[in-house]
Structure 1
Amino acid sequence: MVSSMEFLRVANWVMNQVLVKSCYGVARKIKSHSFDWGDLSYKPLQQPSSFPDIVKCDLEGRGSQTLACDFHKVLLRTRSFFPYFMLVAFEGGSIFRAFLLLCSCPILWILNYEMKLRLMIFISFCGLKVKEMENTSRAVLPKFYLENLNLEAYEVVASVGSRVFFTTMPRVMVEGFLKEYLNADAVIATELHTSGCYFTGFLSKSGLLVKHSALMDYFGDTKPDLGIGNTSLQDQLFISLCKEAYVVMNEGKVMPRNKYPKSLVFHDGRLAFLPTPSATLCMFMWLPIGLVMAIYRIFLGVFLCCKFTMALGAWCGLKLNFKDNNQKKSESDKGVLYVCTHRTLLDPIFLSSGLGRPLTAVTYSLSKVSEFIAPIRTIRLTRDRKEDGETMKRLLGEGDLVVFPEGTTCREPYLLRFSSLFAELADEIVPVAVNVHPSMFYGTTASGLKVLDPFFFFMNPSPKYDIEILEKVPRELTCAGGRSSHEVANHIQKQLGYALGFECTNLTRRDKYMMLAGNEGVVQENKGRRF
């Protein structure tokens, strides 16, 4: 008679072979065989340019000059408008709006330039709240703009003293980024019509921006010192109105992170990839399978014991790279205090699975659903330092405890400032370096529904966790050894940052939520965006 465990293994193998490898493999092959649906933002008529390539532009002595520059196809390496409208549709709107925009691709093929833009604007913005677009513009789009900046074009922009940008993209999509990250003096762009607090999906009376006309209206009889455009006839007419002009001949080099005009520490949204038409198609092909896989993976964690969870999880695409460098046994009757970097709500669960024993985790904000399905014990803190300290002391007396001094998750390679409370509670402190690698969806959110965080993480085709347990902090470097709690917290932050290759910051949980959601991060059970 076949045991229940063997049945689960067979079912797991079938699911992995049929659903994960086969279906997702088909989607990846479609994407890899140049199925990119062309440039849905229109390929303008090209001609040999009479202007030199931007790589020949001398950057010296331009501090007092004024620049007129196109944004799309000049500063951005991505040739199509489509991915950015898809981000607005998915992150600001809903998955149904995003699907409608994807379905419009065959129609976009046959439309001219102006009609393509008008249709993408209508689908992405019709009925969209102005507030949702502001959140998307502030918290989602900058990441994708920075990752797609043309390095050569940016270096020219950074060399001048005054910058005026012109683009046919809607102002609400680009103005915040251009002013905050590129110090734009002015942004001249297409304006959208609104009714109350909603977009109608139509353009304002001024219609689609005509760049060369807008440049003449803005500068009048004064010519800007420098102009940058692409090789299209429209852009060459645009930059011909400048004293000196250059064109971007190709996509150029990728902007390295260390040259970003401003550090990208926080961003929001669910999509972890640039949603080109082909990539978006792959995502929608994967969604039904991903939902099944997410439910199955959550089932493994909730209902099966630790020794079977990761073995079965590995067969359905879960990856856990676990390394334990702490060989010293506990010398105290109290539990061990594990101090972790924080990437998703699932951090303590994967740590518990790697160690093979149950742990207790403390958290500030956790939805009731996530708390209910958690396979380990979770305790809510109150943000009252004295009360929270007493709670954690009591829990340490009962067993091992996991804490997250950052107080919130961070997606980028940065560590937020560590709260020093944990250092006052225990003499045996074990730092734990945690990192995740999402390929399709982020499993965290600042302004969305936190209850969906585990589902989105497990919907990734192959969710990957890296956990490294470092050596126990020597007693002389703890409060028991005469160090202050702040010194201990800063030392452990630096130690974990070095282990992960992350940069330590003084930013806090409050900074994150004020930037991304406009609040202080208090969970609202009945509020939040769609995702």
Structure 2
Amino acid sequence: MAITNFSTVENCSSLGREKDTVVADLDGTLLRGRSSFPYFALIAFEAGGVLRLLFLLLCSPLAGILYYFVSESAGIQVLIFATFAGMKISDIESVARAVLPKFYSTDLHPTSYRVFSACGKRCVLTANPRIMVESFLKGFLETDLVLGTEIGTYKGRATGFVLKPGVLVGENKANALREAFGEVQPEIGLGDRHTDFPFMALCKEGYIVPPKPEVEAVTKDKLPKPVIFHDGRLVQKPTPLVALITILWIPIGIILSILRVAAGALLPMPVVYYAFLALGVRVTIKGTPPPPVKKSNDQSGVLFICSHRTLLDPIFLSTALGRPIAAVTYSVSRLSEIISPIKTVRLSRDRVTDASMIKKMLQEGDLAICPEGTTCREPFLLRFSAMFAELTDELVPVAMENRMSMFHGTTARGWKGMDTFYFFMNPSPEYVVNFLHKLPKELTCSSGKPSHEVANYIQRVIAATLSYECTTFTRKDKYTALAGNDGTVVDKSVKANKAMGC
């Protein structure tokens, strides 16, 4: 049915839509971008590695030719096969849950989302595999129903082929809508191309989303549930050009990473700063670093309280100070221990045992600790453990920041031993080490302050310096969310921030 007299989405009112049902396409409609290649590329790289990404990139010209000159269905089937064939279903689900939401959430079309979010019942009808989009749509956009292409499986792995009725384009979309809604006619249909017209014609009102990729994406404060925790190694959305540059850079990045790791591990700490600078690693020092403490029998070393961005926080703290600072950590891989130029001690998670060990180390010298217990990529600080506040009055907060252009130096799903190498694989990574004022005596536990008040105060000071937001999320919350939580944990944020005065 060739119906082309649909109005543009700008003309769709979003007032009084609480009882209405909206059915929307995804690429080019709810999302600004009309191409789904970047999201297939994310799954290819994160679940299959660089060779899978290369295979997908090589297949993309064929997919494009088929898409534009033969049929949308044929082009999308090529992308699905190149991405999914042979992959474990569990790996696909993991990437869809922990990686894709971050990228989807930064590409939402403001006008179509205005209409979509105003309706009481929401349905997304997309040619993309359902397994790929459902976690984001239901977990972060509160979508009631997701109708997408179903992929074939065999013994827990994807075959790369699609199940009947095939890719959901054209009449297949309309048929899927009829099957889901029966005789009920949805109020609003949103699409962006002529193959969306058949399903839009089944709705009481149909609106076209014009191709305007230059429009500003929906800001994160307008999302029902912000994406606080996410995973994956790639920083940028892998368009075909970005994917090609990434593939070409990786061999160079590996060599550069090894050189940078070797410089940090083998050279004397006073010269590491200059070695990093020569190798393209920028270290920016702010504030006034405290001088080394002249030890006496009754004097404790300084305990540096650092925000936690990567496993390299204590290394760059030592680089900024020009002397090695021992660090305590909740978890560190064996490889990281081997290549670390500083002493690292693993905490046991037993409060009494850990407190005794930290006190002993402070008697020997200065010490670094990241009381969040895990990293967070977004501008949030997780809850600080209060244990450290009871152990010494020599507390120096340190606001740590880092900047990466290509690869994230953290992971929740992958091998943490590679975190250091991925960080140093970036063309020009940067760390900012901001030394704040030592905590006044009257704000420490020895002056009668409860340990949790001291910890919360330091968290607020660091958060204010970085313009971050305080939360009461913990390491457990992070790994629960990335392992398949329904997203309700994010709702703690608002109450937590108010309670802590952040």
Is the pair's TM-score, using the shorter chain for normalization, greater than 0.5? yes
1:238 deviates by: 2.4
Equivalents in 2 of 1:472, 1:192: separation in Å?
Answer: 58
The question of 1:388 aligning with 2:354 is answered yes
Larger mean Cα displacement after TM superposition, 326-335 or 82-91: 326-335
Equivalents in 1 of 2:41, 2:16: separation in Å?
Answer: 40
Which amino acid letter does the alignment assign opposite residue 473 of structure 1? L
Q: Secondary structure at the match of 1:499?
A: helix
Equivalents in 1 of 2:484, 2:121: separation in Å?
Answer: 30
1:463 is matched with which residue?
429
Which amino acid letter does the alignment assign opposite residue 239 of structure 1? M
1:329 deviates by: 8.3
Equivalents in 1 of 2:281, 2:358: separation in Å?
Answer: 31
Are the structure 2 counterparts of residues 244 and 518 from structure 1 closer, same or farther at C-alpha, using a change threshold of 3 Å? Answer: closer
Equivalents in 2 of 1:393, 1:151: separation in Å?
Answer: 53
2:187 corresponds, among 208, 219, 225, to: 225
2:249 is matched with which residue?
286
1:102 is matched with which residue?
57
Equivalents in 1 of 2:409, 2:3: separation in Å?
Answer: 47
Larger mean Cα displacement after TM superposition, 257-266 or 402-411: 257-266
Contact 1:152/1:253 (8 A) holds in 2: no
1:237 is matched with which residue?
198
1:320-366 CA-partner distances (Å, limit 9, x unpaired): 11112466886972110000000001110001010111101001111
2:125 is matched with which residue?
166
Contact 2:124/2:146 (8 A) holds in 1: yes
The question of 1:149 aligning with 2:104 is answered no
1:382-437 CA-partner distances (Å, limit 9, x unpaired): 11110000000000000000001100111111110010000010111000000111
The question of 1:212 aligning with 2:174 is answered yes
1:489 corresponds, among 438, 441, 455, to: 455
Equivalents in 2 of 1:253, 1:380: separation in Å?
Answer: 45
1:455 deviates by: 0.6
Equivalents in 2 of 1:94, 1:292: separation in Å?
Answer: 18
Contact 2:97/2:484 (8 A) holds in 1: no
1:106-133 CA-partner distances (Å, limit 9, x unpaired): 3223223222211111111111111111
2:28 corresponds, among 61, 64, 73, to: 73
1:156 deviates by: 1.0
Moved over 6 A (4+): none
Q: Secondary structure at the match of 1:207?
A: coil
The question of 1:199 aligning with 2:158 is answered yes
Larger mean Cα displacement after TM superposition, 168-177 or 50-59: 50-59
1:14-59 CA-partner distances (Å, limit 9, x unpaired): xxxxxxxxxxxxxxxxxxxxxxxxxxxxxxxxx9953222222222
Q: What is the aligned-residue RMSD (CA, Å)? A: 1.7
Q: Secondary structure at the match of 2:27?
A: coil
Equivalents in 1 of 2:391, 2:357: separation in Å?
Answer: 10
1:271 corresponds, among 198, 216, 234, to: 234
Are the structure 2 counterparts of residues 215 and 276 from structure 1 closer, same or farther at C-alpha, using a change threshold of 3 Å? Answer: same
Overall identity of the aligned pairs, in %: 47
Contact 1:92/1:128 (8 A) holds in 2: yes
Equivalents in 1 of 2:425, 2:402: separation in Å?
Answer: 14
Equivalents in 1 of 2:239, 2:3: separation in Å?
Answer: 28
Which amino acid letter does the alignment assign opposite residue 198 of structure 1? R
Contact 1:328/1:472 (8 A) holds in 2: no
Equivalents in 2 of 1:351, 1:300: separation in Å?
Answer: 16
The question of 1:182 aligning with 2:141 is answered yes
Which amino acid letter does the alignment assign opposite residue 79 of structure 1? R
The question of 1:260 aligning with 2:215 is answered no
1:220 deviates by: 2.5
Structure 2 gaps of 5+ residues are 486-502
Are the structure 2 counterparts of residues 329 and 309 from structure 1 closer, same or farther at C-alpha, using a change threshold of 3 Å? Answer: closer
Q: Secondary structure at the match of 1:72?
A: helix
1:46-100 CA-partner distances (Å, limit 9, x unpaired): x995322222222211111111111121011122111111111111122211111
Give the structure-1-normalised TM-score.
0.86
Which amino acid letter does the alignment assign opposite residue 159 of structure 1? A
1:422 is matched with which residue?
388
2:439 is matched with which residue?
473
Q: Secondary structure at the match of 1:73?
A: helix
2:285 is matched with which residue?
322
Which amino acid letter does the alignment assign opposite residue 242 of structure 1? C
Between Structure 1 and Structure 2, how many residues are aligned? 472
2:494 is matched with which residue?
none
Equivalents in 2 of 1:400, 1:518: separation in Å?
Answer: 39
1:221 deviates by: 2.5
Which amino acid letter does the alignment assign opposite residue 427 of structure 2? P
2:489 is matched with which residue?
none
Which amino acid letter does the alignment assign opposite residue 117 of structure 2? A
Are the structure 2 counterparts of residues 205 and 245 from structure 1 closer, same or farther at C-alpha, using a change threshold of 3 Å? Answer: closer
1:441-498 CA-partner distances (Å, limit 9, x unpaired): 0011111111111110000001111110100111111101110001001111111111
Contact 2:271/2:322 (8 A) holds in 1: no
2:490 is matched with which residue?
none
Give the structure-2-normalised TM-score.
0.91
